[in-house]
Amino acid sequence: MRKFRSLFISHGAPSTVIDDIPARHFLEQLGQTMPRPRAIVLISAHNIARKTVVGTAAQWQEWHDFGGFAPELYQMQYRPNGAPELAVQIAQALAADGQDVAISDDPALDHGAWVPLKLIYPQADVPLVTISLSQGMDNAAHWGLDNAAHWRLGERLGQVLPDDVLLMTSGSITHNLRDAFSRMQSDTGEYTVEQYASEFIAGSYVALNTQGKAFWLDWQNRLRHARRAHPTPEHFLPLLIARAAAGIDGEAPSVTPLHQSIELGVLGMDVIGLNWS
């Protein structure tokens, strides 16, 4: 049984692409050190739709979906080719699995997609397909981000994506912006790491190495400090998807911490390879 390779990236703020921080410098060299994929299938925490939407754009264009940052960010472009045929194949495979799927040729790339991609592949020369998170209706007839649905998405992607296509998921291993903004207001430039953040990150690695589907479907209750580390789940679901894609018949994947750093004492910038060796 093949071991499907996936990659989780904590993308940080839009300014990661210009900030003098360890995560930026790591991402700038990552593309030179890993095998070059034929295409990338990318799932961003900022791409959320009511159903699973597969992006079929023939050419992508950066979307400056943020405000209040340095003017140079709004001048940046990132415009890779798409892979429409691959996108349609993926959509068909997901639909055949009973998932609620749509396709869209909207070319907009949110910052969770184009910021890390611009650092890793600055020439924008790797074709791209996007897949959204889904706010499918839950059993209580409410719209919400469902763990089980995204685990299933990851499992199916692990089954259908070719070995030369990289699944890249972009979110954040911790994402409490209220805590982050309160730190920014202190303006000291020096931030101690909050214990809840470090303990949540450590617990996530233990779970990646040891826990199966049942644990991940209940991660908000099983991982210590989960609801403080992620007041909303959208930035953690990309890691859940990557974990599901990399598991084979319930077997835990190999987990490689490719990069670990933390900003403002609360925002983990981890980059994690699954079945990377």
pLDDT attached to residue 141: 46
Q: Across residues 185-194, what is the average pLDDT? A: 74
Average pLDDT score over residue span 88-117 = 97
Average of per-residue pLDDT across 73-77: 96
Band of the pLDDT at 101, cuts 50, 70, 90? very high
Q: pLDDT per residue over 208-251, tens digit each?
A: 999 999 999 999 999 999 999 999 999 999 999 999 999 876 77
Predicted confidence at residue 6, as pLDDT, reads 95
Domain 6-274 part of CATH 3.30.70.260: no
Q: Are 180 and 266 in contact (CB under 8 A)?
A: yes
The pLDDT of residue 138 is 54
Buried residues in 163-174 as b, exposed as e (16+ CB within 10 A): eebbbbbbbbbb
Residue located via tokens 């982050």: 180
- State the virtual CA torsion across 216, 255, 165, 158 in degrees, nearest 10: -30
Quick one: what percent of the chain has pLDDT higher than 70?
A: 94
Of 90, 30, 105, 29, nearest in space to 245 by CA: 90
- pLDDT band for 183, please (50, 70, 90 cuts): confident
pLDDT tens readout for residues 129-164:
999 999 975 554 455 799 999 999 999 999 999 999
Give me 161's structure tokens: 């994506």
pLDDT > 60? residue 1: no
Partner residues linked to 101 by β-bridges: 52
Cβ(50)–Cβ(211) under 8 Å? no
Per-residue confidence at 3, pLDDT binned at 50, 70, 90? confident
Domain ranges of the chain: 6-274
Average pLDDT over residues 106-128: 98
When the pLDDT of each residue in the chain is averaged and rounded to a whole number, the result is 93
